[in-house]
Amino acid sequence: MGHAYTPGLKVTEKLLVTKKRILPLKGEVLVKVGDKVTPDTVVARTNLPGNVEPINIANILGLPPEDVPEHMLRKEGEKVKENEVIARSKTFFGLFSSECKSKSEGTIESISSITGQVLIRGNPIPVEIKAYLEGEVVEVFPKEGVSVSTWGSFIQGIFGIGGETHGEIKIVTKDNTEVLTDSLIDKECAGKVIVGGSLVTSPAIKKAVSVGAKGIVIGGFDDKDLREFLGYDLGVAITGSEELGITLVVTEGFGQINMAERTFELLKSKQGKMACINGATQIRAGVIRPEVVIPFAGDIHQKIETEVFENVGLQIGSPIRVIREPYFGKLGEVVGLPSPLQKLESESSARVLEVEFADKKRAIIPRANVEMLEE
Q: How many CA atoms lie within 13 A of 363 on its CB side?
A: 21
Q: What is the CATH number of the domain that holds 80?
A: 2.40.50
> 238 CB contacts (<8 Å, ≥6 apart)?
280, 281, 282, 288
pLDDT of residue 177: 94
Are 172 and 195 in contact by the 8 Å Cβ rule? The answer is: yes
Q: What is the CATH number of the domain that holds 221?
A: 3.50.30
Are 105 and 122 in contact by the 8 Å Cβ rule? The answer is: yes
Q: Assess whether 179 and 283 both reside in one domain.
A: yes
Q: Evaluate the omega torsion of the peptide bond into residue 203 and state whether it is cis, within 30 degrees of 0.
A: no
Give residue 78's domain range: 55-122
Q: Assess whether 264 and 365 both reside in one domain.
A: no
Residue 360 inside a domain? The answer is yes
pLDDT of residue 235: 63
Q: Assess whether 366 and 246 both reside in one domain.
A: no
Tally of residues, the chain: 375
Are 57 and 118 in contact by the 8 Å Cβ rule? The answer is: yes
Residue 149 inside a domain? The answer is no
Please give the tally of structural domains in the chain. Answer: 3
pLDDT of residue 306: 45
pLDDT of residue 310: 45
Residue 68 inside a domain? The answer is yes
Q: What is the CATH number of the domain that holds 324?
A: 2.30.30.30
The pTM of this model reads 0.76
As a whole number of angstroms, the distance between CA 166 and CA 249 comes to 12
DSSP state of 301: T
**Closest Cα partner for 97 from 71, 66, 70?**
71
Instruction: Give per-10-residue mean pLDDT for the chain (375 aa).
Output: 47 91 96 96 95 93 92 94 92 74 93 94 94 96 96 92 95 96 95 96 94 96 83 72 89 88 93 96 77 87 50 73 76 86 76 87 86 67
Are 312 and 375 in contact by the 8 Å Cβ rule? The answer is: no
Of 96, 122, 148, the domain-final residue: 122
Q: Assess whether 339 and 230 both reside in one domain.
A: no
Edge to edge, the sheet with strand 125-130 lists 28-29, 42-48, 125-130
CB-CB neighbours of 33 under 10 Å: 11
pLDDT of residue 338: 86
